[in-house]
């Protein structure tokens, strides 16, 4: 039975969706605490997330980024916000699809079924979903390890978050503000010094497996990762 985590603050809509989707033998968990979404996600380990944008405290874009820092679990946004910019932001923040309220229940179910088939079923890629690869460099998302040509290094949570962001944005500059937001976990404030320390540690872990000078400082802008390991 596939599991779906439903993050919706309108109880009537949430209950209706839950009742409808359970008819198709999905295991549905409704969000319980809106300030503990990541913790609930990790405990439930869903196959897919349905995510509203307008939520208490932080919006759906924020929670999508937080979940994307630790998982590739497919995310479908469901929102009454129907502007093109909202849909663009949903995709740019890591969403896989966008459904506008009011919605047709059959359309929701069809989109869920399509994504489930693509990710977990007959159309699934032969590449493991928990593996992020750039040529011979592999980031193991579940084990939080990075490896190259048989050499591997175990990453801390912050090192993993940073390296995943760099690999997903190869050759693109990531601002310090963006990276600080990635590391901030709602409980511990992250300052510039903490970011610098973790960047240094990621560089050291990469050097340990034979990747040198791939994370570069871009003065006045932030950092970017370039492919140096293919040239070595």
Higher pLDDT, 191 or 196: 196
Query: What does the pLDDT read at residue 186?
Result: 46
Instruction: Give which of 201, 197, 203 is closest to 224, Cα–Cα.
Output: 203
Query: What does the pLDDT read at residue 190?
Result: 66
- What are the chain's domains? 2-125 (3.40.50.2300), 131-225 (1.10.10.10)
Segment 9-36, tens digit of pLDDT: 999 999 999 999 999 999 999 999 999 9
- pTM of the complete model: 0.57
What is the mean predicted confidence (pLDDT) over 128-156?
84
Query: What does the pLDDT read at residue 231?
Result: 63
Weakest mean pLDDT among 89-103, 106-120, 126-140: 126-140
Query: What does the pLDDT read at residue 131?
Result: 80
DSSP 80: S
- E strand map for 11-95: 27-30, 48-51, 75-79
Q: How many angstroms separate the CA atoms of 66 and 118, rounded?
A: 23
Question: What does pLDDT average to over the chain?
Answer: 88
Instruction: Give which of 40, 100, 30, 89 is closest to 65, Cα–Cα.
Output: 89
């Amino acid at each position: 039975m596939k599991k779906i985590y439903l993050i919706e603050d309108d109880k009537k809509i949430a209950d209706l969706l839950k009742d409808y989707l359970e008819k198709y033998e999905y295991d549905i968990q409704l969000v319980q605490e809106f300030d503990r979404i990541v913790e609930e996600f990790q405990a439930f380990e869903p196959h897919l997330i349905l995510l509203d944008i307008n939520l208490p405290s932080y919006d759906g874009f924020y929670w999508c980024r937080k979940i994307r820092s630790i998982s590739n679990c497919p995310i479908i946004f469901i929102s009454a916000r129907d502007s093109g910019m909202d849909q663009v932001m949903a995709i740019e923040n890591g969403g896989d699809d966008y459904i506008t309220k009011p919605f047709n229940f059959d359309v929701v179910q069809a989109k869920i079924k399509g994504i489930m088939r693509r990710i977990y079923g007959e159309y699934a890629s032969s590449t493991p979903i928990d593996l992020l690869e750039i040529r011979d460099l592999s980031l193991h998302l579940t084990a939080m390890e990075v490896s190259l040509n048989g050499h591997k290094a175990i990453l801390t949570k912050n090192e993993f978050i940073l390296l995943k962001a760099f690999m997903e944005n190869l050759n693109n500059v990531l601002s310090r503000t963006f990276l600080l937001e990635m590391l901030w976990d709602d409980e511990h404030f992250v300052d510039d010094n903490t970011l610098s320390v973790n960047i240094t540690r990621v560089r050291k872990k990469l050097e340990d497996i034979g990747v040198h000078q791939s994370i570069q400082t871009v003065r006045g802008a932030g950092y970017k990762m370039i492919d140096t390991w293919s040239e070595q």
